[in-house]
Every structure is written in C-alpha cells, then in structure tokens.
Amino acid sequence: MTSHYVDLTVVPDPETGVPPLLGALYDRLHRTFVQHRIDTIGVSFPLYTVIPRHLGDTLRLHGSEGSLRELLAGDWLRGVRDHIRTSQIALVPAEVQHRTLQRRQFKSNVERLRRRRMKRKGETAEQAARAIPDSVARTPTLPYVHVRSASTGQTFCLFIALGPVQREPTAGSFNTYGLGGTATVPWF
C-alpha cells in the first residue's frame, strides 16, 4: 500500500546538470529493485510536464512506511548521495488524486527496425525499406530519463506517460522501474 512517500531531490553542480543526475539516481533505484525483488514501491515525478518535456528534479517514492525505511537504510545511494536531498518519510496527504505512471516505447529509429527485419527475415535492404517506410517513425513527446537496463546492460530512454487521474487508488505491484501497469500512486 502506498500510504507514505519520500522525495529524493537532485542537486546539480556546475559540472553536472539535473538530467544526468536524475538518470544516475534512477539507475541505482532500478538495480536495487531488481536485486531485492522489490515490487511494492512506486515512483512519481511531482514536477512532471509535457510542455516543456521535463521530469523535474524530484523523484518521489511511494510505499508503506516500513518498505521506504528499509529501502533508504540500504547502500544504494552510494555515489550520488552528495547530489541528493532526501526528505523525511511522510504520510500521503488526505484527499489526493491517484494515477498510474507507465513506460511508453516508440518505434523511432527506422534504420534499426529495418536492420532487425533484414536479420530476422533474411531480406535485402530494399525489401526491408519497402516493408518499413520512413512514415513508421514516431517522434516521442513524453518526458524521459536515460537509464541502463539491469537485464541487458543497454542504455535507453525510458519514456514515462501519465495515466488518467483517479479519485480512488488501485492496488497492485510495480515493475523494476517503480512503474505500475494498473497500480496507482498518489498524485500531488
């Protein structure tokens, strides 16, 4: 249950801005969720905006008081602690709205899609180009964070979409990025 929350706010310095520091923080959180099989803590970004496309400087963690205390007691913030300000764990305010945060994937690199098709189907470049026209490419407009997958080791843009606002919470589990398919987090 997401009855409590804690804010982790990134503090940039002259050499490193907010986006790379937020990415480093989120990487560590993701690896911790994978290593400890944590699916009871969700994330949100209270300063999330689409125009301009921005996640803000704060990563908010939602869960029970005990699960948040246990997470923060771990050593996963080593290496970024100097750039993070951690709030106190607090009770979620009464009468807040709820929503899901979900990963969105886009087919944005047509050349990569064509190479993959050529390899999988044994087609020539011309055949793959006819099957996958340039019009297939989509330009994402959602905010994102650069992360490294714990399973593949590859770095990618994790695009984050907000679900509709709901008056009541929906229980469920979160994935290793702290995002829920149907599980909601308090939105405030």
Q: Examine the residue annotation and report whether 98 is marked as an active-site residue of this protein.
A: no
Catalytic: which of 4, 30, 62, 98? 30
Residue 86, CA distances (Å) to 19, 89, 134, 162 in order: 17, 9, 45, 24
The set of catalytic residues is 30
